[in-house]
Chain A
């Protein structure tokens, strides 16, 4: 079993839709939960991160962490064509050095 499981998609939605992206994990030692966005032929960029459980909101993006279920989510409201990218969940333990990435979900937002 992989430490982090993420459905690779692809996920195709119309512009304006609410997008839900999810990951599950198995290592209860993870303390930092991140979402990275990767455009085609570019390196990943940090979108947002959460420490331990709870929610975090940044504009149209909301990250949720449920440590009891070992489940994390990213919600995108009012999705735009510019949101089309691969979204990778990532997790790290205390110190945040060794980061484990999910496989990434490819998202297409159609105008």
Chain B
């Protein structure tokens, strides 16, 4: 099993540029999550999808951030325009949604380290 795949692993860009992060969840998983991790704020949930539908995007910091999940095997997180304060590690995670009273593990990808100059 390949696990959650993220690309690119590292991205360096200049302020004002558009950045697109990509994620391929584990096959068969029906929930997908985007997180951002920084030293100051820790691991923050940005948005999550269930069956390709965005359920909660209250963690998306600004309109500059957008996420899509066109099908069960692919999701993107886009930042346009990017700013230096967006520098962070962005993680994608997927899980198989469980029924009431159950918890299924979220599997995290290796992350994309974004640096905005």
Contacts and interface: CB of A to CB of B under 8 A. Distances in A.
Nearest to A2: B42
Given A96-B103, A103-B42, A104-B42, A43 B50 contact: no
Interface of A: 32, 34, 41-46, 49, 51, 88, 92, 94-104
Contacts of A94: 100-101
Closest 7 CB pairs of A and B: A43-B108, A103-B42, A101-B43, A96-B103, A46-B105, A32-B103, A44-B108
A96 B43 CA distance: 16
Interface in B7-51: 31, 33, 42-45, 48, 50
B104 interface: yes
B71 interface: no
Interface in B64-117: 91, 93, 97-98, 100-106, 108-111
B34 to A, nearest CB: 12
B109 A43 contact: yes
A97 B43 contact: no
Given A43-B93, A43-B110, A99 B102 contact: no
B94 to A, nearest CB: 11
Contact of A43 (B98, B103, B111): B111
Contacts of A43: 4, 91, 93, 108-111
B116 to A, nearest CB: 19
Contacts of A32: 103
B45 A99 contact: yes
A99 B42 CA distance: 13
